Structures are given as structure tokens and as C-alpha cells.
């Protein structure tokens, strides 16, 4: 086992690699989603610091020490989150000091911070809060502007090599503030390159379909790496470039441009955003640009499309309202779908989608009306119309059109994909692709 | 390095401990939140299987193998998620087979699954999709009902001890389905105690308010532990009991009953569900019980309430439809809110909420109509009506009523809380609490 010696002052050398260790039984029990690891990974990646491993471990002396030592062996910097609370279970500060070969001592400065924290809120510290003023002698103490648990940054001498161990609190608001205000400025000094990104968001091709069309482009890049990320209903292409921190936005843009142009020439029609905007945001912008209004006639999505387009505060510029016609009676009475259509073709049919769109356009008095009618399941399907059958209709000044889609997955998934499909249908119409 | 021999059939021995390894560069880069680790941890915890470590590692041969071997050394069961995609980067199946000492071979069965998957969607598989039919010879292959990547369950003989390695896909919908449908039933055979839960879901009291009322009850339990979990707009009390699997539902109920009665005597009015149903599910059941129909007039929530109540497949029994009246014009033309009200009191007012509810009840022909109008922000507020001002109205056979709420947080939070508040308003009316 390699031994460490803690050093002061913490100076900082070039940091290339880091690992994140999340400490907390609540994570192992699945009670908490590990947003800290995600947030720190994003920050490290943008600083050009590679992170090859992350770990989660409980509030247990042996296991925490084992994981910490393994990570310090591999990486230049190890960041822990969690286990700095006031209770007996919270052992991260104690273990980190033990590994660093230093001791915890009562910090007058931290005592003052804790006193101020409670005074500001008109409350009294509990007895166990003073444990949080028990901090390592040989470490830079990190102020917590959101809570009572200070953090620590150790510089460790390991057989001549300098390693760094940052100990941060677990509550995400405290962790993020401490990282941004105190660790990040120091890390910037310890790195000279940053990772720059461009996000191309696509819809309509699966991950395999998209990468199949781009294989050669993906593999012939030297400076820029291209990675596809599939999420519900869409695939995002992330282009990354590692380059000096002082690059201007224009220089960054110039380096990305040739690759973006290559990708666009192959799959341009599937790309709905080049700047990481959401599909509903893009559709909204297109509508506002055209000074056009929109409304929906929703059946199986039952309000999801309307809720999606109103996520952006400016939605009222283009979105007037919608009819959620869940029952067939309302499809008839409000949207004017004829009972013949419902009887002969069914509520989930091309004729019904067309009539719903036309009816909504007239009732809502909008330029564009989009209808969604489908079988989200698990009930209501037939051999001809399996679960996942969805018709999207659209009515505008030029007329009406509709398209059939078959969507896999469960009820919730079908409704989500139908929502995105309806918005993409509108996007294509606004761009005159359909 | 210990070697493994893969065995068939997979039988299953008692499993006490498990580790979760999430594979994917996107996790290390912070692009994806690791919901898989959370979901699996919850499931394992409910099965009484301890999880002491979790890891995240990228799509890298050496590192993945290293992490996998370390976990297999410590735990009875190792579950991986991710890295089963069709691209070259996806190496989890290959590495797992190498560790197990078996080979990948083309599976006719899996080829059929992939063919069916695309046929059902009217699409063609890409060339690289066939890679996903390349599966280990000595393992139980797990069917993917949501995507194209099959999983695998290995039984490994490690110097006489049996270990298990389950390889699941990364997309959460695929992972969860495969776990629940195939791994969980098998794991139940491999465990003899289970953690039993009762979930009391409350709305209307914050976490600290609720626990303050229950402190002594929480701390005097021996057999049953009580933990509060706050989520958006509600607090769930989770009661847990570790007991033999063969306990009958009645025996389980008897052990929980005294504690539940104690809790109900203190905070009964805030508990909306005793069986972990959602608020919308509870409301739906109350409506079906009364054979009553419902519809909504949504402004600031713009479809969220309707989307929420239709999450349950049976929603059509009670939910007819809604009017999303986002613009003031539609509040007037469709719901009959007078232009005087809009002008003098504003669209966000008691008068407007009452008129919207009455208008929706008549237009939609329903027994109960609930209206929601508010300022979700960030724009549109005034000194008298700050961001978060929400009016909920209700119309039924007995008349109309409305209540004012002030909700904190950002736009998305205000819309979510307004949605729950509207449903709880209806719940209280159906229970004659208001």
C-alpha cells in the first residue's frame, strides 16, 4: 500500500485525469439519483480532464478507504461527494484525513461559518453541527455557501508524484456551488485545454440508421470526435474538440464547420437543431418567424403535445390552445368528425386524423392544426391496428394531410414518441419538407 | 487472476450481494444521468440483496474487464447496463463472454427477434444490427421487448463457487423491462427474505412538517422502518419490513397495520394513497366509483393535467376531454369567459377560474370540470399577481367554487405543482372534504 503525505500550500500541477467517488448508502439503496456524478463529469469533461472511472460506495470505513486508495492510485485528482453531514454515519472527512496522513482539528474559522449560517436563518445549531468544524490540518478548507459542511482539498505527495483529493458535500446545491466557486477556478489553472462541443439533434432515424450513414465521417476525423447519443425518440450527435482554452468563438466555429457540413450533406433533413435546442423550441421559433399560430387536437397524447410546446415561456406568441378529444363523442361534437368515420374507419384512422385537424383548425382559429390519434395501449388494439398505431394529421391554408406511424414500447413510451412525431411532422411542414 | 467457467443451465443459488456496473462513455462525460443504477438499486434493495459498490466505466476493453473482474470477486451477482448497441464501441457482450470463458456465436433466435422488431415498425435493419444477434454460447439469452439488443445471464463457476453476471442494455426502458420480466422472477427464487413496503403518499404538508408530526412514531419502531421521501409536490412515507418471502399478504398486512393506524391518526387527511397509487390514479378510481365524468379547462398547465390523468389505461372510463385555452381569445370563444372579466379581473382571477370551469362543464358535457389558470412565469407577473399565482376552479352539479394558490419555484415546477393541486382539489371535492 502506497502512503501519502499531505502538503500545504496546495499549489496545483497539470491535472489530466480524475475520478469521482459518490459516498452514501442512500445511493446504494436507490433512494437518490446520482446527479452529483453527472454534474461533476460534465464539468471535468469541459475542462478537458479525462474521467475513466466513477464509483459509489456506502458510509463504511473499510470500503470507502479501499475505493479511495484505488482511485488515487489511478488518477491525478479524486473528487468525493457526500458523507460530510453532522451524524455519526458521516465519515468521509475522517477517512480522507487518515489516507492523507493528517489529523482533524477544530477549525475556529469553520465554527464561525456554521454560527453565521444558523444566525442568518434565525436558528440554533444542533450539538452535532460542531462536528462539521472538525477539519484536516494539512488541507485547503473549502467554504460552503449553501450549507454547513465545509469541504477540503488535499495535495498529496505519493512517492514524489503529486495527487489531489477534493472532498465535497453531498447535497447537490452545496456540491455544485462549492465546485464552481472554489474548485473550478483552481482546476482551470491546472489545465490548459478545454473540450468544445457542438450538438446536432436528429429525429426520424434510429441510432444504427444514423451511424450507418455516417460511419466513414465518424472514423476519418482526427481533431474532432463524433459520438451518437440515443434518448427517447431522438439521437443526438455530439461533436467534441479538445483545444486551447483561449480560442475565440469564431475560431471554434471554423474548426467545427467542415465536419458539420459533411454531416449535413448526408443527414441534413433529420437534423432539427444545431445548437442543442429542444424540438418544441425549434418548432416554436419557426412558427414565430412565420408569424403563424398553432393548435392541436389530441387524443392518445391527451395534452402532452400542448404541454411540450408550452415549456418555453414565449409559447403564447404562436400557441393558441388545443382540444383534448379523448372520447369519440368530443371528436364528433367539438371537432366535427362524422359518426360515419368513427363507425366505419374508427377513431384511429387517416380519415379521423384529417377531420380532427381540419376541425381543430376551424374551432381554434389557428394557421396550423395538428391532430394525434392512436392506440397507446395496452387495451383497444386489433389485428389491423396493433398497440402503437398512430395517425398524425395536419391542416393548414394549403389543405390537410396525414401520416401513419407504428411506435414500439409501452403506453408511456408510445405517448412520448407520438408527441415528438407530431412536433416533427409540423416542423417538416413549416420547412416545406412535406 | 481467478478464472471462470460458464455453465448451462443457469440454476441459481442463494444471492446475498450484488454490484452494478454502468458501462458508457456518455455517463463518464456527464451526458446521461444514471437512472439505471438507481432503478436497479431500488429493485435489489426490495429483494433484500445488498449492494455495497457501484461503478461506472467507459466502453474500453481493459478498464471494463478490470472492473468486471473486481466486482465478480466481491459479489454474488454483477449486473452491467449499457454497451450492447450495434456500433463498434459497444463491447460489453464481447468482454463478458471473454471473462466467462465462452464465445459469441450468431443466434438464429435473436436474429428473428431483430427481424420482427424492424418488420413491426416497417423499417429495415441496418447491417450493424446483426452484431446484436452475436451472443454468448454458454449463457441464458434475455429477450428485449423494447429494443433490438438482447441481454445475457451467465452462471460462472469460480473455483467451485457460483457467481452470476447479468448483462442488460443501457436505454432505461429496455433495461427496466428486461429486468422486471426476466431477471427479477429468477432473482426471487435466489433470495428467501424480501423487503416488504407500504407506501403512504401525502400531499399538502412539506417533508419537515410531516416528519415533525411523526418524530416519536418514526423513532420508536423496531421491526418496521419509516422513511420520508420528498418529491415534486408530495411526500411519500415508506414503511419497510424485512421478512420471509413466504409471508402471506394477510400476515404482511397484520404486521404493518398498527403503525399505519398510528400514522393515520396524526396525518390521515394528508394521505391520498395507502397503496402507492398516483394521485391521478386515485382520482380516476373515485370518479369511476361514482360513475362520473371529468374534463379540464387548462391554461398555464396547458395539457399537463389531462396528460396526467390519462397515464392510466382505464382513463377513458371517466375522462372525456379538455380544452387547453392558452390564449384569452379561446377562453372567451370556447369557454365563454366574458371579455369584461378578462379586462377587469384578468385571465388569472377567481372570476376567470369559475367561468372557465362552468364553461368547460357545459362544452365538454361532463359531471366535473376543473379549471387551472395561473402565471407560470418568468413573464406576465405583476405586483398583485406574482409568478406562481394560480387559481383552480371547479364546476359540478352543486355549483362552482375556486381557490387561490401561490406556488414557488420555476416555470416547470409551478406547472407541475399546479397540476397536482388541481387533481387534489378534485379529489377533495369527490370525497366531500371541500
Q: Where are the domains of chain A?
A: 5-189, 193-273, 279-430
What pLDDT, on the 0 to 100 scale, is given for residue A12? 79
- Res A19 pLDDT > 70: yes
A301 near B CB under 8 A: yes
Tens of pLDDT, residue by residue over A386-406, are 999 999 999 999 999 999 999
Tens of pLDDT, residue by residue over A33-50, are 999 999 999 999 888 899
Tell me whether residue B153 is exposed, middle or buried, using C-beta atoms within 10 angstroms of its C-beta: 0 to 12, 13 to 18, 19 or more: buried
pLDDT band at A355 (very low <50, low <70, confident <90, very high): very high
What pLDDT, on the 0 to 100 scale, is given for residue B339? 97
What pLDDT, on the 0 to 100 scale, is given for residue B93? 97
What pLDDT, on the 0 to 100 scale, is given for residue B207? 75
**Contact call for residues A214 and A267 (beta carbons, < 8 A):** yes
CA Rg value for chain A:
28
pLDDT band at A228 (very low <50, low <70, confident <90, very high): confident
A401 near B CB under 8 A: no
Size (chain A), residues: 434
What pLDDT, on the 0 to 100 scale, is given for residue B370? 98
Cell of B81: 447496463
- Res A230 pLDDT > 90: no
- Res A79 pLDDT > 80: yes
- Res A86 pLDDT > 70: yes
Identity of the residue in A39, A296, A298 whose CB atom sits nearest the CB atom of B30 = A39
Collapsing DSSP to helix, strand or coil, B81 comes out as: strand
Cell of A294: 398553432
What pLDDT, on the 0 to 100 scale, is given for residue B1? 64
Nearest alpha-carbon partner for A334 in A310, A312, A304, A355: A355
Long-range interactions of A69-73: CB distance < 8 A, separation 24+ = A69/A1, A69/A2, A69/A99, A71/A19, A71/A21, A72/A4, A72/A99, A72/A156, A72/A158, A72/A163, A72/A165, A73/A2
The secondary structure of A344-388 as a DSSP string is HT-SSSHHHHHHHHHHHHHHHT-SEEEEEEE--SSSS--SSS-TT
- Res A362 pLDDT > 90: yes
What pLDDT, on the 0 to 100 scale, is given for residue B195? 82
Report chain B's mean pLDDT, rounded to a whole number: 93
User: Please, which residues 144-203 of chain B have a Cβ atom closer than 8 Å to chain A?
Assistant: 146, 148, 171, 173, 177
Average pLDDT score over residue span B349-369: 98
Measured distance CA(B144)–CA(B155) in Å, rounded? 20
- Where would I find the beta strands (DSSP E) of B43-124? 50-57, 77-81, 104-106
What pLDDT, on the 0 to 100 scale, is given for residue B162? 92
Measured distance CA(B287)–CA(B364) in Å, rounded? 16
What pLDDT, on the 0 to 100 scale, is given for residue A246? 83
- Res B227 pLDDT > 70: yes
Taking domain B193-273, whether its CATH number is 3.30.420.110 is answered by no
What pLDDT, on the 0 to 100 scale, is given for residue B422? 97
Inspect the interface and report whether the beta carbons of A229 and B45 lie closer than 8 Å. Answer: no
Tens of pLDDT, residue by residue over B48-94, are 899 999 999 999 999 999 999 999 999 999 999 999 999 888 999 99
Measured distance CA(A93)–CA(A135) in Å, rounded? 7
Tens of pLDDT, residue by residue over A292-351, are 999 999 999 999 999 999 999 999 999 999 999 999 999 999 999 999 999 999 999 999
Q: Could you tell me what percent of chain B has a pLDDT over 70?
A: 100
CA distances from A287 to A379, A428, B202, B394 (A): 36, 12, 41, 34
B56 near A CB under 8 A: yes
Q: Could you tell me what percent of chain A has a pLDDT over 90?
A: 76
pLDDT band at A153 (very low <50, low <70, confident <90, very high): very high
Inspect the interface and report whether the beta carbons of A28 and B35 lie closer than 8 Å. Answer: no
- Residue in chain B closest to A315 (alpha carbons) equals B326
What pLDDT, on the 0 to 100 scale, is given for residue A197? 87
What pLDDT, on the 0 to 100 scale, is given for residue A118? 87
> What element of type H or E holds A277?
none
A381 near B CB under 8 A: no
Tens of pLDDT, residue by residue over A163-196, are 999 999 999 989 999 999 999 999 988 887 888 8
What pLDDT, on the 0 to 100 scale, is given for residue B229? 77
- Res B2 pLDDT > 80: no
What pLDDT, on the 0 to 100 scale, is given for residue B283? 97
CATH T-level assignment (fold) for domain B5-189: Molybdenum Cofactor Biosythetic Enzyme; Chain A (3.40.980)
Average pLDDT score over residue span B117-138: 90
CA distances from B122 to A33, A233, A404, B116 (A): 37, 16, 11, 10
A330 near B CB under 8 A: yes
Query: Which CATH number, 3.30.70.141, 3.40.50.300, 3.40.50.970, 3.90.950.20, labels domain B279-430?
Result: 3.90.950.20
Measured distance CA(B71)–CA(B79) in Å, rounded? 10
Most B CBs within 10 Å, among A39, A69, A307, to test the B interface: A307
Q: In what order do the strands lie in the sheet with B271-273?
A: B225-231, B234-244, B193-202, B271-273
Measured distance CA(B39)–CA(B175) in Å, rounded? 9
Measured distance CA(B148)–CA(B133) in Å, rounded? 9
What pLDDT, on the 0 to 100 scale, is given for residue A319? 98
Tell me whether residue B248 is exposed, middle or buried, using C-beta atoms within 10 angstroms of its C-beta: 0 to 12, 13 to 18, 19 or more: exposed
Tens of pLDDT, residue by residue over B243-299, are 888 889 899 999 999 999 999 999 988 899 998 899 999 999 999 999 999 999 999
pLDDT band at B154 (very low <50, low <70, confident <90, very high): very high
CA distances from A278 to A271, A281, B3, B374 (A): 11, 5, 48, 24
What pLDDT, on the 0 to 100 scale, is given for residue A1? 64
Cα dihedral value B35, B39, B45, B50, nearest 10: -50
Amino acid at each position: 500500500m502506497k502512503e501519502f503525505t499531505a502538503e500545504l500550500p496546495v499549489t496545483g500541477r497539470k491535472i489530466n485525469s480524475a475520478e469521482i467517488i459518490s459516498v452514501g448508502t442512500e445511493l446504494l439503496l436507490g433512494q437518490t439519483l446520482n446527479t452529483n456524478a453527472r454534474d461533476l463529469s460534465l464539468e471535468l469533461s469541459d475542462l478537458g480532464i479525462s474521467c475513466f472511472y466513477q464509483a459509489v460506495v456506502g458510509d463504511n470505513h473499510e470500503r470507502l478507504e479501499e475505493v479511495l486508495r484505488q482511485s488515487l492510485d489511478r488518477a491525478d485528482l479524486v473528487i468525493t461527494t457526500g458523507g460530510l453531514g453532522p451524524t455519526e454515519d458521516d465519515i468521509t472527512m475522517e477517512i480522507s484525513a487518515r489516507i492523507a496522513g493528517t489529523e482533524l482539528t477544530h477549525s475556529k474559522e469553520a465554527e464561525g461559518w456554521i454560527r453565521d449560517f444558523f444566525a442568518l436563518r434565525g436558528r440554533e445549531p444542533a450539538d452535532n453541527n460542531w462536528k462539521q468544524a472538525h477539519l484536516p490540518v494539512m488541507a485547503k478548507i473549502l467554504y460552503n455557501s449553501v450549507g454547513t459542511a465545509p469541504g477540503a482539498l488535499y495535495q498529496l505527495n505519493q512517492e514524489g508524484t503529486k495527487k489531489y483529493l477534493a472532498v465535497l458535500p453531498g447535497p447537490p446545491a452545496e456540491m455544485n456551488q462549492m465546485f464552481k466557486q472554489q474548485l473550478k477556478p483552481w482546476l482551470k489553472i491546472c489545465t490548459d485545454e478545454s473540450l468544445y462541443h457542438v450538438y446536432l439533434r436528429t429525429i426520424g432515424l434510429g441510432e444504427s440508421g444514423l451511424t450507418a450513414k455516417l460511419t466513414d465521417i465518424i472514423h476519418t476525423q482526427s481533431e474532432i470526435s463524433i459520438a451518437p447519443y440515443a434518448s427517447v425518440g431522438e439521437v443526438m450527435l455530439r461533436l467534441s474538440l479538445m483545444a486551447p482554452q483561449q480560442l475565440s468563438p469564431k475560431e471554434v466555429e471554423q474548426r467545427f464547420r467542415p465536419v458539420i457540413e459533411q454531416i449535413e450533406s448526408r443527414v441534413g433533413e433529420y437534423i432539427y437543431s444545431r445548437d442543442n435546442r429542444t424540438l418544441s423550441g425549434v418548432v416554436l421559433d419557426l412558427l414565430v418567424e412565420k408569424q403563424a399560430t398553432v393548435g392541436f387536437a389530441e387524443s392518445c397524447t391527451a395534452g402532452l403535445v400542448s404541454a411540450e410546446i408550452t415549456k418555453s415561456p414565449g409559447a403564447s406568441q404562436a400557441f393558441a390552445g388545443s382540444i383534448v378529444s379523448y372520447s369519440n363523442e368530443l371528436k364528433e361534437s367539438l371537432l366535427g368528425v362524422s359518426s360515419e368515420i368513427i363507425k366505419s374507419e374508427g377513431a384511429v384512422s387517416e380519415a379521423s386524423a384529417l377531420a380532427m385537424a381540419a376541425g381543430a383548425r376551424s374551432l381554434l382559429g389557428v394557421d396550423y392544426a395538428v391532430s394525434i390519434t392512436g392506440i397507446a395501449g395496452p387495451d383497444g388494439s386489433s389485428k389491423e391496428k396493433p398497440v402503437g398505431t398512430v395517425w398524425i394529421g395536419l391542416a393548414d391554408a394549403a389543405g390537410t394531410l396525414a401520416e401513419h406511424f407504428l411506435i414500439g414500447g409501452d403506453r408511456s413510451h408510445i405517448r412520448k414518441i407520438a408527441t415528438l412525431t407530431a412536433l416533427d411532422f409540423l416542423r417538416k411542414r413549416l420547412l416545406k419538407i412535406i
